[in-house]
A and B are shown apart, each in its own frame.
Chain A
Amino acid sequence: MALKMVKGSIDRMFDKNLQDLVRGIRNHKEDEAKYISQCIDEIKQELKQDNIAVKANAVCKLTYLQMLGYDISWAAFNIIEVMSASKFTFKRIGYLAASQCFHEGTDVIMLTTNQIRKDLSSPSQYDTGVALTGLSCFVTPDLARDLANDIMTLMSHTKPYIRKKAVLIMYKVFLKYPESLRPAFPRLKEKLEDPDPGVQSAAVNVICELARRNPKNYLSLAPLFFKLMTSSTNNWVLIKIIKLFGALTPLEPRLGKKLIEPLTNLIHSTSAMSLLYECVNTVIAVLISLSSGMPNHSASIQLCVQKLRILIEDSDQNLKYLGLLAMSKILRTHPKSVQAHKDLVLQCLDDKDESIRLRALDLLYGMVSKKNLVEIVKKLMSHVDKAEGTTYRDELLTKIIDICSQCNYQHITNFQWYISVLVELTRLEGTRHGHLIAAQMLDVAIRVKAIRKFAVSQMSALLDSAHLVASSTQRNGICEVLYAAAWICGEFSEHLQEPHQTLEAMLRPKVTTLPGHIQAVYVQNVVKLYASILQQKEQAAEPEAAQEVTQLMVDRLPQFVQSADLEVQERASCILQLVKHIQKLQAKDVPVAEEVSALFAGELNPVAPKAQKKVPVPEGLDLDAWINEPPSDSESEDEKPKAIFHDEEQRQAKQRQPEADEEELARRREARKQEQANNPFYIKSSPSPQKRYQDVPGVEHIPVVQIDLSVPLKVPGMPMSDQYVKLEEERRHRQRLERDKKRKKKKDKDKKGKPRRHGSLHTESDDDLAPAQQVDIVTEEMPENALPSDEDDKDPNDPYRALDIDLDKPLADSEKLPVQKHRNAETSKSPEKEDVPVVEKKVKKPKKKDKKHREKEREKKEKGKEARVEKEGEDLDFWLSTTPLPAAAPAPEEPGVNAVITAPKEEDEEPQREEQGDEEDDEDNERDPEKKSSKHKKKKHKKEKEERSKDKKKSKKKKPPGDEAAEPVENGALDEEPLPVRAHVQLLPPGREFLH
């Protein structure tokens, strides 16, 4: 037998190992696929052997093939065999293969549970390590549930090598089995102060990941992290903690205040760029969370901006990139500080590096003003022409639109220019953002009344050259602009110079190749055009011409009736019948124009995008109440829809009745008007008083710059918005001259007077810039009493939502992790689930009996919980209201210091301490009105506390005074199961100078 084994092994020496396989593949470059399929056949043979070494070798080769894209899931069972080998060498191969190809759908994965459990408890740390590493890649909810307890035990393993891996993998376990978070959390927290820096770093890592998703649950850890931050020397850990604080500060502005000083110190002292950068980032987050108007923080902002400028000016492209990235965060709240560095940003726009240009583009948003908008957009347009990748070009396009449309178009002085820019952008090939351009065209045309004439002329030209847009872009979104063009030309047809020409353009056979929804808009707007042409012709007393137009409609509309798109078909057939009817009337010399245009009477007003959503529910209206009694259950479900459908069909049939005589038309029109009058949601043509825009008497008097449209439009590719740059310059020059004159006059009169005309928010030079046209930008309509805001719905599928768990509540027995034999463990889950609010509700576990026990438990828990929760909140409040203690940051003189000094005697003096805290808070309040809300909270706390202080004193364990002095607060959970007190963990600096 033994001989046979040895013989087998010798045979195996002639099997290919991984190196042979790789070499073989390299030698068969021409027929690689064939060679590999040959190898896979060999591997299949090898996997059939009994010898585990052979199998391991085969699995090793499979792992390589997996990287090349070959499916190896068929070998899953063999992989498990190799995983369960007793030798580390093979086990490692097995686990590697499993980590590369197992996933939740792998069905044999459940067979691994016991093997993994065995490996986890193996005496060899490397067996355990390799199992943990492998498991981290393929853990499933079942595995997580069954192994959570084993892994938790490993978190206290004697070897730091195992501890750190066990701590890290807990994050994956939490994700897959959220119920394990609460039971495991105390131990995880404990690991934050592990003597081994690796374990500590792992714990920080896990908590940072957790806190990033649900920061509010981790606020109570802030004091602990604060201590770590001021004591740790490991840059990696520091970066993580500082990033974490960045996520926490928005929830607790007081935390931010506390952070600023140590962070500023770090910024000044560190030589590691990565750390510096993260500090700056978090300071920015802090400053954002504090309300912006705080004067004493302008120094911090200045420091950040100044440091970032150094980064941006650095020759290292990475620093430049990050500097711009962080700058864009400042921009949101402190635009003025960033604007000072406009030169730098503009310079970065020309950088050869796309990543940097993209970041600079982000910043541009805050850089534009009335004065330089035209110039900046011109620059961007030239980039658009040069851009190679569509991603970058699309980004440019969206940025141009963003920049121009921001704050209600506040920077645009000349809308003709903007329309031309938009029209120019339609020449972009292959952009995905046709709909964006279209939306802008519509928005501007609807909201800026004065520009309609110009917009219509441009749009009709666009429709005329629709073939340019549509032909090259069948596959992409630019033809969306035709949607806007058609609608604008139709809706504002009274401004058209040559409506007949546009009408013909819209009725071209080519139109039928456009997407359905665009055709539908064409059809609808053709009628609007038709109506206005009819009116024109009838007023001019040219009945023949009017009849001609009708004939044109009757001739061309059938091409839409045949459309495969239902919408187009329906509209076209309705309209065709209508036009035929009109034709009959025209033949009898009946004037029809009035009637037809009445179809489109009234003006459309812009409505804010979310207006509908914001209509408040009137008092007394219960949207969920039944209007009619619900149908009895006996009524079958499918009857109702059927009836509705039937009804609708009838109605539709009626609508399609071709012979709608004039009476019928008139009646319908009357009905429509009536309905409109009665319908509160219909926007009537007369604007409501509060948004009656000073219909400036002079819309007509506005000096509209005459430009020759035909030339630039018909020569595609020729930039036309450029002319505005010149015009703009001339205009400004003129204005400046005038202004100078005025100023001189004024100066003569009053030397102190400042020549400011409108109090705009912008820089002085901006203020002086008068727009080319007097434009009213119509604001979008909102319903009366619109609700202030609506919460953004969270993604219900977010895997991190399950981890939104209150960690400060004491642990219920029911939450203990299942131990060993998982099937049994599940049944032993105790019944309290039901009673613990919120969190446990997510856990659907079978109810259990044992009522007595349950009652008792509940009572006990209720008591403990309240007391504890109470304390947690106070502790944090207290910590936040005291000043930082780090040695690095000299504590400023504040009453809070007293409180800390008295802390050791806490047991007797507790109520006093609290009061002191309050007093201090009051003092703070005097200086800082912002704190008021927190004060209220505090008062409440205090009241409640007084009631309970008796109970608490009893339950409280005495803390070692030394510990208390070192850190102002001990967390509640630690309170009950005291940890071995470590005298301030001294961290060893990492062996190698890391992170610079």
Chain B
Amino acid sequence: MIKAILIFNNHGKPRLSKFYQPYDTQQQIIRETFHLVSKRDENVCNFLEGGLLIGGSDNKLIYRHYATLYFVFCVDSSESELGILDLIQVFVETLDKCFENVCELDLIFHVDKVHNILAEMVMGGMVLETNMNEIVTQIDAQNKLEKSETFIFQSPRQDR
């Protein structure tokens, strides 16, 4: 199971937080995770133990660092470490496809869209789809549906 997915930038500003289990301490968890992850060098391994708040020795943080952003998945032992690393890669590549050359600004202003993309990959903490083409197809179809519903009350800025 995936317990949480966090995206934050190099300064610890959250860009996306998705908890698949209820935690009262979401903000502390984000801070702690940032603290743990950010002090690591670039060329060390992408696995990390010892996130205390998120609980349990069974849990691991698996993260990737892209330019200004950290993508962190907190998972338990039922997930394959390398598999999750690949999943992060798929996630980022999908974002790249949907936003066309994704950068931090896209995530800042369109966090709802990022959520929608993520929802096609991970559902309730379990991996739903790993095939990027399939994900993109579904996202496109939903955007189309949204567009067909859009008329006057949608400001044009919202569409990208």
Which residues in A have some Cβ–Cβ distance to B below 8 Å? 6, 9-10, 12-13, 17-19, 22-23, 26, 51, 53, 60, 63-64, 67-69, 87-89, 92-93, 96, 100, 103-104, 124, 126, 130, 132-133, 136-137, 139, 161, 164-165, 168-169, 171-172, 198, 201-202, 205-206, 208-209, 212, 235-236, 239, 243, 273-274, 277-278, 317-318, 320-322, 352-356, 358, 391, 990-992, 994-996
* Structural contact, A321 and B116, CB atoms closer than 8 A: no
With A18-B112, A168-B126, A274-B82 in contact, do A13 and B44 touch (Cβ < 8 Å)?
A: no
* Structural contact, A63 and B112, CB atoms closer than 8 A: yes
- Given A67-B111, A198-B128, A317-B46, 5 more pairs with CB closer than 8 A: A13-B155, A18-B109, A198-B131, A274-B81, A995-B130
* Structural contact, A17 and B158, CB atoms closer than 8 A: yes
Bound: A559/B28 CA distance, A: 44
* Structural contact, A198 and B134, CB atoms closer than 8 A: yes
The 8 closest A-B pairs by CB, nearest first: A136-B124, A274-B82, A317-B45, A353-B44, A9-B153, A69-B27, A321-B45, A103-B22
Residues on the A chain within 8 Å of B80, using CB: 239, 243, 274, 277-278
Bound: A617/B46 CA distance, A: 52
Task: Number of B interface residues at 8 Å Cβ cutoff, please give it.
Answer: 60
* Structural contact, B48 and A355, CB atoms closer than 8 A: yes
With A17-B155, A277-B80 in contact, do A992 and B145 touch (Cβ < 8 Å)?
A: no
* Structural contact, A88 and B45, CB atoms closer than 8 A: no
Closest Cβ of chain B to A724, distance in Å, is: 33
Closest Cβ of chain B to A794, distance in Å, is: 15
Chain B contact surface mostly: mixed
Residues on the A chain within 8 Å of B48, using CB: 355
Chain A contact surface mostly: helix
Near A by CB (< 8 A), chain B positions 38-79 give 40-41, 43-50, 78
A317 interface neighbour in B44, B82, B149, Cβ under 8 Å: B44
* Structural contact, B131 and A322, CB atoms closer than 8 A: no
Bound: A996/B87 CA distance, A: 11
- In the assembled complex, 11 residue pairs joining A and B whose CB atoms fall closer than 8 Å, in A order, are A13-B153, A17-B158, A67-B16, A92-B116, A103-B22, A126-B145, A137-B124, A198-B128, A236-B83, A355-B48, A991-B133
Closest Cβ of chain A to B152, distance in Å, is: 5
* Structural contact, B123 and A133, CB atoms closer than 8 A: yes
With A96-B115, A137-B20, A239-B80 in contact, do A992 and B153 touch (Cβ < 8 Å)?
A: no
With A67-B14, A169-B123 in contact, do A356 and B112 touch (Cβ < 8 Å)?
A: no
B131 interface neighbour in A9, A137, A992, Cβ under 8 Å: A992
A19 interface neighbour in B109, B128, B154, Cβ under 8 Å: B109
Closest Cβ of chain A to B146, distance in Å, is: 5
Residues on the A chain within 8 Å of B16, using CB: 67
The verdict on B92 contacting chain A, using a C-beta distance below 8 Å, is no
Residues on the B chain within 8 Å of A355, using CB: 44-45, 47-49
Bound: A137/B119 CA distance, A: 11
Per-residue 0/1 for B1-34: is the Cβ within 8 Å of any A Cβ (1 yes, 0 no)? 1000000000000101110101000110000000
Q: Which residue of A lies closest to B146 (CB)?
A: A89
With A68-B14, A133-B119, A161-B138 in contact, do A321 and B47 touch (Cβ < 8 Å)?
A: yes
A-B pair number, CB within 8 angstroms: 173
With A67-B14, A89-B150, A103-B22 in contact, do A168 and B123 touch (Cβ < 8 Å)?
A: yes
* Structural contact, A994 and B90, CB atoms closer than 8 A: yes
* Structural contact, B14 and A198, CB atoms closer than 8 A: no
Residues on the A chain within 8 Å of B26, using CB: 69
Bound: A201/B154 CA distance, A: 38
With A64-B111, A93-B112, A209-B1 in contact, do A991 and B22 touch (Cβ < 8 Å)?
A: no
* Structural contact, B78 and A208, CB atoms closer than 8 A: yes
Closest Cβ of chain A to B150, distance in Å, is: 7
B86 interface neighbour in A23, A88, A209, A995, Cβ under 8 Å: A995
Q: Give the residue among A17, A63, A208, A236 with the most B Cβ atoms within 10 A.
A: A236
Near A by CB (< 8 A), chain B positions 95-142 give 108-112, 115-116, 119, 123-134, 138, 141-142
Residues on the B chain within 8 Å of A212, using CB: 78
Residues on the A chain within 8 Å of B145, using CB: 88, 124, 126
Residues on the B chain within 8 Å of A133, using CB: 119, 123-124
Bound: A245/B133 CA distance, A: 30
* Structural contact, A88 and B111, CB atoms closer than 8 A: no
With A103-B22, A164-B128, A239-B80 in contact, do A994 and B86 touch (Cβ < 8 Å)?
A: yes
With A64-B111, A318-B81 in contact, do A209 and B126 touch (Cβ < 8 Å)?
A: yes
Closest Cβ of chain A to B62, distance in Å, is: 9
Residues on the B chain within 8 Å of A206, using CB: 126
Bound: A161/B43 CA distance, A: 39
Residues on the B chain within 8 Å of A208, using CB: 78
Residues on the B chain within 8 Å of A87, using CB: 149
Residues on the B chain within 8 Å of A201, using CB: 127, 130
Residues on the A chain within 8 Å of B119, using CB: 96, 130, 133
Q: Which residue of B lies closest to A235 (CB)?
A: B83
